[in-house]
Amino acid sequence: MRIVDALATTDALSAIFDDASTVQVLLDVEAALARAQAGLGVIPASAAWAITQAARADGFDADVLAREARASATIVIPLVAALTARVEAIDPVAARYVHWGATSQDIADTAMSLLIDRACAAMGRDAAALAASLRDLSDRHAGTVMLGRTLLQPAPPITFGLKAAGWLAGVSRSWSRVELARRDAARIQLGGASGTLAALGDRGPEVAAALARELALTPGEDGPWHSSRDRLAALIAACAILAGMLGKIARDVSLLMQFEVGEAREAGGGSSAMPHKQNPSGCARTLAAAARLPGLAATMLAGLVQEHERAAGAWQAECPVIADALQATGAALEAMRGVIAGLAVDPARMRANVDATRGAIFAERVVMLAAPVLGRSVAHRLLKDALGRSQASGRSLAEIVRDIPELAAVVNDEVLRSLDDPHAYLGAAETFRQRLLASI
């Protein structure tokens, strides 16, 4: 993990995309290709053995490879040269069969599929843990009332359980999209120079199938996809949606954590200057990571316009974008998993904030009773008036309504008694909460 990227990755993901891992996965593909071909008698078995022996990242100089990659606009050309030299030292004849019938992009794309698979597996662990914490949070707070807030203003009450269920459902749907897109995107690439595998004569499709088996990747039977990148774009778009939904939770939590609101608090988060500070650090990290995704997704989407059989530029742009997108999404997942796991919720403060509105948020309830009798505009006017009196006097809306004959006439005693009670005006909150949990 590099310092400039520190907030936008995790230990697990930065290890997947570091140089040692990247070189090894490229070598794994070359070795798997050789074994697949040897298994079909396309190249000698001894060549596959030697290539597999040589395909160990520890002897390769990543810095040199990275530098040489720039000359040909692909890492694969210097990598194949270096691998060939190593195979040569083991078995000169085997060296003739390195990278047999493949094109650079075949290796790079298949390696990226493997990296994607690993990254999604790592993310999946955090996604599962986060989902479990959110479900638990929702269940624990099924009966915790709090202000609904719309356009950042108080609205009729909800339960914190409903809010958490909404967070969970959003994250779960979004993670499902990532999983679906991953299964479609992480597939082998083997097309040779022009995507026809002509160099392998009539053995091409067989070799491709065997390579898929070697790497346990989706075979992609409908052939190469050198310049058809919709599946990768779909994966990164799905990551961006997930990151956005995580960002939504982070925004909510950081707003609830405001000193003036005080309804929730994440653990940790100090300040270098202020001993009193309890920062929403996990939320900030989530939002920071999520902020990267729209731009990265847009780059993938713009890059779909790839020329002919293999593109000049748009393909070469993808690698760091995919690596950054997966890492930033994973960073948001990890950070939010930590936030939710350690979230301190303050039901008393939630209730106090409801009560502080002195019943103003229940004005709608009175309007619904008054409008059919008095007409909508009269009802609205009377309520605005009542709210003004409540605000001026510090008395609750219920008390004021009792004093206004037109309203008192349409609001029965039972309603009046419960008018300040948030539990009496939750509508379908619990129904929706349960349906959200069931929808996952």
Q: Which residues are catalytic?
A: 271, 310
Tell me if 61 contacts a copy of itself by CB under 8 A. no
User: Which of 133, 357 has the CB closer to a copy of itself?
Assistant: 357
β-sheet bridge partners, residue 153: 150
Task: Give dist(CA 211, CA 79) in Å, integer.
Answer: 19
- Site for a copy of itself (CB under 8 A): which residue of 27, 55, 158, 419? 158
Tell me if 95 contacts a copy of itself by CB under 8 A. yes
Q: Are 325 and 296 in contact (CB under 8 A)?
A: yes
Q: Binding string to a copy of itself for residues 193 to 212, with x set by CB under 8 A, is what?
A: xxxxxxxxxx-xx-------
Q: Binding string to a copy of itself for residues 229 to 268, with x set by CB under 8 A, is what?
A: -xx-xx--xx-xx--xx-xx-xxx-xx-xxxxx------x
Tell me if 89 contacts a copy of itself by CB under 8 A. no
Q: Binding string to a copy of itself for residues 377 to 396, with x set by CB under 8 A, is what?
A: ---x--xx--x---------
End-to-end CA gap in the chain = 34
38 three-state secondary structure: helix
- Site for a copy of itself (CB under 8 A): which residue of 155, 344, 348, 409? 155
Tell me if 137 contacts a copy of itself by CB under 8 A. no
Q: Are 336 and 133 in contact (CB under 8 A)?
A: no
- Site for a copy of itself (CB under 8 A): which residue of 46, 53, 218, 279? 279
B/e letters for 74-94, b = 16+ CB within 10 Å, e = fewer, are bbbbbbbebbbebbbeebeeb
Number of CB atoms found within 10 A of residue 215's CB: 24
Which residue reads 């930065």 in tokens?
14
The count of residues interacting with a copy of itself (CB under 8 A) is: 186
CA nearest 185: which of 253, 114, 243?
A: 114
Secondary element (H or E) of residue 159: strand 153-159
- Site for a copy of itself (CB under 8 A): which residue of 156, 185, 330, 419? 156
Number of CB atoms found within 10 A of residue 245's CB: 23
298 three-state secondary structure: helix
Tell me if 330 contacts a copy of itself by CB under 8 A. no
- Site for a copy of itself (CB under 8 A): which residue of 211, 296, 343, 419? 296
Tell me if 355 contacts a copy of itself by CB under 8 A. no
Which residue reads 């493949």 in tokens?
102
Smallest distance, a copy of itself to C-beta of residue 432, A? 3
Task: Give dist(CA 191, CA 367) in Å, integer.
Answer: 68
User: Which of 124, 223 has the CB closer to a copy of itself?
Assistant: 223
Tell me if 224 contacts a copy of itself by CB under 8 A. yes
- Site for a copy of itself (CB under 8 A): which residue of 65, 122, 130, 401? 65
- Site for a copy of itself (CB under 8 A): which residue of 319, 333, 350, 401? 319
| Segment near a copy of itself (CB under 8 A); pick from 119-127, 134-142, 210-218, 372-380 | 372-380
Q: Are 42 and 97 in contact (CB under 8 A)?
A: no
Number of CB atoms found within 10 A of residue 18's CB: 14
Smallest distance, a copy of itself to C-beta of residue 216, A? 21
The residue length of the chain stands at 440
User: Which of 132, 298 has the CB closer to a copy of itself?
Assistant: 298
